[in-house]
Structure 1
Amino acid sequence: MDMAIYLRLSRENDGSVSLDTQRAACARWLATHGHDPADATEYVDAGVSGASPLEQRTGMRALMESRPDIVVTRKQDRYARSVTEFLRLVAWAEQCGTSLATADGNLDTSTPHGRMVANVLASLASWEREIISARITEGHATRRTQGRWGSGRPPYGYRITRRDGAAYLEVDDEQAQRIRTAVAKLTEDGTVATTARLTGLSEPQWRRLLKSPTLRGQRSHKGSLVLSADGVTPVQFADPILNAAEAKAVRERLLALATGTDRAPRRAAPLCAGMAHCYRCAGRLNGGTSDKGVALYKCKQGHVTMYAATLDERVSAEFLSTWGTFAEHRVSLEGGSDLSGQLAEVDEQLRRAVDMRLTAGPATLAILEEKQHELEAAYARLRAAHDPDVREMLVPTGRTLGEAWEDPAERPRLLADMGLSVTLHPKQRADRIVIHWGPDPADDALDAVLRDEFLGDADLVALTCLH
């Protein structure tokens, strides 16, 4: 008689269902029924779920191909935890003349009674699996509402800490500092791709992190923000890495980059990109190349063209001769209290409370009304303290504009700060390049005020176009 022992283990968790425990139980059953365990062939599926299809299990597939006369396993759930899969195994056994048995004595398909028990046990195994799954899901939901960390790797910027026998998240200072540095660069003039390098994340990972509520110490589950039991207040899993104003600035920057309203200049952009125009159509001169690959400035309508090196050298020389000895200043923002980010978050919670009141029952209506009053009071306090007005202060950097010009990466910014405007004329004109420094005509009034204010200080008079 051809005999087989089937062993299956989903994962190694304790000794009660280990492969050795299953093997010993099957050997005892064979010996009790007059068989020599040494004559049985073992088929093992380690690390395989009982709900997986029979054909996807290496050991079970080999067993079914060998068609033994009798198969024994420790308990019925070792065969399958799915009613469908177990009934398929019973049908296969009947077709092949194979008896299925379990070492605990609850199953023996060689008898009608055993076949009936097999069907009942299969249903119970499936029910048990569904109960376990529901219990696990409920446990995850409870941990989420309590602000506890469930499982898996923590999000970038945080690490796992244990207290009171449970896992929580706390800020990883080193990673958090990288995030703040990258966010500062992003909201200033950076892109997602360039700032991702500052964190060590890939661009897709960095973009997902920026779009998620994680950096505010919150989490989302299946696309929705995780809320506390009141259904209004977000659960705080950890201290936020970004404050509300910084998170709002990130959202606005991502929106600007996505819509193209504030894209950062490309690396290959010409020195005077956006500042050089055609004399005839007033259109901006696009960068391009000649047939020989030489960089050009050229009008989109084809009115004028010039080698980029020729125009850039002229602009460079005039910048240094006009501004090179002046002290460089940067604009520093002082004062103000921008609470727009916090106002937006409270407003979002207030909207959720109002929406929930529309469908709330009598038991929860009073709780939601109280929550709404609390949020309205918080919004009023924030609104009273909200004062976004700031003062722009010119702060010297300690170097001259000529010294700043030595850094090629700084040159486009310096030209823009000094209000560069270049007009390119046709070849028939003796001097084709006309350079103008200063603000737009619409800013003439402000320019006059600044010049009057700083009259007597040559450096500051010259730098009024930095406003």
Structure 2
Amino acid sequence: MATTAIYLRLSRESDDSASTETQRAAAHQWLTAHGHDPAEAIEYIDAGVSGAKPLEQRRGMSALMVARPDVVIAWKLDRYARSMSEFLRLVAWAEAYGVKIATTDNTIDTSTPTGRMVGNVLAALAEWERSMIAARISEGHETRRTQGRWSSGRAPFGYQITRRDGAAYLAVDDAQAELIRAAVAKLISDGTVAGTARMVGLSEPQWRRLLKSPTLRGHRAHKGALVLSADGVTPVQFADPILTAAEAKAVRERLLALATGTDRAPRRATPLVAGLAFCYRCAGRLNGGTSDKGIPLYRCKAGHVTIYAETLDQRVEAEFLRTWGKFAEHVVRLEGGNDLSDEMIAAQEQARRLGERMATAGPLMLATLSEMEAELEAAYAALRAAHDPEVREIQVPTGRTMADAWEASPESRSRLLADLHLRVTLWPKQEAERLRVEWGPEGWAEAELQGIALVESGLLDQAPV
């Protein structure tokens, strides 16, 4: 007796027009009309599965193909597949194992040449319909992108969705934008991606992706490319920018510096004089470590010398306070005039895009692009003429001494010591003076010489007494 199978598939559970009950009832009627007992038919169900999905990746269809029944009945052709290639694969499988494939509307019956031909034609139409729907959806998204409208999904961090004229657009979320600007300012100065991510409440990967994308400039990327207007040069403005072009450039440079290690912030667990203390014998840097009892140490990698970290750190602190403690602390401030760097950077970016567009433009479009080039050149020339920032680095006293700075910022002590060119040399225990502390790029030992040099360079107010 021939074995029979009923194949039921739903793309969506809520699809009432093609519910499993509707499909099952039609399949039972067909089996009865063709001399089969519906009660003996085995059902294979794929719920919530697209007809474009490969046959083997559907649980129900995969089980059916393993079972190899004599007859398979489905409601309509699109229940089997919405792809011509997948339906042809199903037909090839059926012919290889002598399986008859049919539909309840009698359009498909692979046991006859006419049925196979009709099945192929209908499968091709189903695939064409699906591709047309996808094309319409894609064109709709493209239209919304070129109009600066928001297509779908949640708004990116820093923005919110607003509606006007019956369409969705992005607007700056003031609260989130303030968090972003504060975090970016910290990142550019001396922050890290992980630390600033906590400031805005995002994970580190989410924050890094946002910083690398054009989103914070009010632009969008699609498939890895910046969304441009019809001229192929000007970016579509989806919303007001949160960051200026200069800030966005500074962020890119900071991320590059952190990634390459050229400006990576020191770890908090780094010993005070890490990289500044050396072995007398091999001149190798002393590494941090611990003794058998867990006491922090500095030790030579080759094992020549070892010293308790507390002993060395206290000596360095005492030498710093004795030599530099009374001097005034200074910070660098920038003074400038008319700074048009932000506008110039934006013009340079537009010029790059214009050049790329002109390289592939035809004669008709080239004239328009040449006019844009002339206008851009004139605008950039005007910017350069007006750009006179006169930016100067000014040493400004903070109102506190170096000793005050030492006490107020323990996390910055290592960097402060490095800026003063500290070098500590550790000698064996039998030496009367195990620790030799030197300051200055040439290893000067006399504080008077250091003070004179720093006064001449403008870093300090007066030489030490």
TM over 0.5: yes
Partner of 2:259: 258
Structure-to-structure mapping, 1:127-276, within 5 angstroms: 127-273=128-274
For residues 383 and 148 of structure 1, what CA distance do their matches in structure 2 show?
Answer: 34
When normalised by structure 2's length, the TM-score is 0.80
What is the CA-CA distance between 1:364 and the residue it aligns to? 0.8
Gaps of at least 5 residues in structure 1 are 452-459
Larger CA deviation: 25-34 vs 235-244: 25-34
Partner of 2:373: 372
C-alpha change, 1:142 and 1:18, in structure 2 (3 Å) is farther
Partner of 1:87: 88
Query: How many pairs were matched up?
Result: 454
Out of 401, 411, 414, the residue aligned to residue 413 of structure 2 is: 411
Gaps of at least 5 residues in structure 2 are none
C-alpha change, 1:165 and 1:93, in structure 2 (3 Å) is farther
For residues 432 and 444 of structure 1, what CA distance do their matches in structure 2 show?
Answer: 25
For residues 147 and 316 of structure 2, what CA distance do their matches in structure 1 show?
Answer: 62
Report SS of the residue matched to 2:271.
coil
Partner of 1:454: none
Deviations 1:263-304 (A, max 9, x none): 2223333323455567899x7844344775765556789997
Deviations 1:388-440 (A, max 9, x none): 614536264779843751552243355456x3634537464648434548999
C-alpha change, 1:111 and 1:261, in structure 2 (3 Å) is closer
Deviations 1:237-283 (A, max 9, x none): 332222111111111112222333222223333323455567899x7
What is the CA-CA distance between 1:59 and the residue it aligns to? 1.8
8 Å Cα contact 2:246/2:345 also seen in 1:
no
Partner of 2:461: 461
Report SS of the residue matched to 1:461.
coil
Aligned amino acid, residue 129 of structure 1: R
Larger CA deviation: 257-266 vs 162-171: 162-171
Q: Structure 1 vs Structure 2: percent identity of aligned residues?
A: 63
C-alpha change, 1:360 and 1:91, in structure 2 (3 Å) is closer
Aligned amino acid, residue 370 of structure 1: E
Partner of 1:433: 436
Aligned amino acid, residue 231 of structure 1: G
8 Å Cα contact 1:304/1:424 also seen in 2:
no
Partner of 1:43: 44
Partner of 1:120: 121
- Does residue 100 (structure 1) correspond to residue 108 (structure 2)? The answer is no
Deviations 1:204-243 (A, max 9, x none): 3333332222222223233322222211112223322221
For residues 3 and 457 of structure 2, what CA distance do their matches in structure 1 show?
Answer: 103
8 Å Cα contact 2:210/2:216 also seen in 1:
yes
Aligned amino acid, residue 287 of structure 1: N
Report SS of the residue matched to 2:254.
helix
Report SS of the residue matched to 2:396.
strand
- Does residue 447 (structure 1) correspond to residue 455 (structure 2)? The answer is yes
Larger CA deviation: 121-130 vs 421-430: 421-430
C-alpha change, 1:6 and 1:144, in structure 2 (3 Å) is same
Larger CA deviation: 145-154 vs 308-317: 145-154
For residues 411 and 458 of structure 2, what CA distance do their matches in structure 1 show?
Answer: 28
Aligned amino acid, residue 134 of structure 1: A
C-alpha change, 1:277 and 1:187, in structure 2 (3 Å) is farther
C-alpha change, 1:180 and 1:375, in structure 2 (3 Å) is same
Aligned amino acid, residue 414 of structure 2: P
Report SS of the residue matched to 1:72.
strand
Deviations 1:53-76 (A, max 9, x none): 222222223334455554333321
- Does residue 363 (structure 1) correspond to residue 371 (structure 2)? The answer is no
Report SS of the residue matched to 2:101.
strand
C-alpha change, 1:324 and 1:171, in structure 2 (3 Å) is same
8 Å Cα contact 1:72/1:103 also seen in 2:
yes
What is the CA-CA distance between 1:188 and the residue it aligns to? 1.4
C-alpha change, 1:27 and 1:150, in structure 2 (3 Å) is farther
When normalised by structure 1's length, the TM-score is 0.79
What is the CA-CA distance between 1:155 and the residue it aligns to? 3.5
What is the CA-CA distance between 1:8 and the residue it aligns to? 1.4
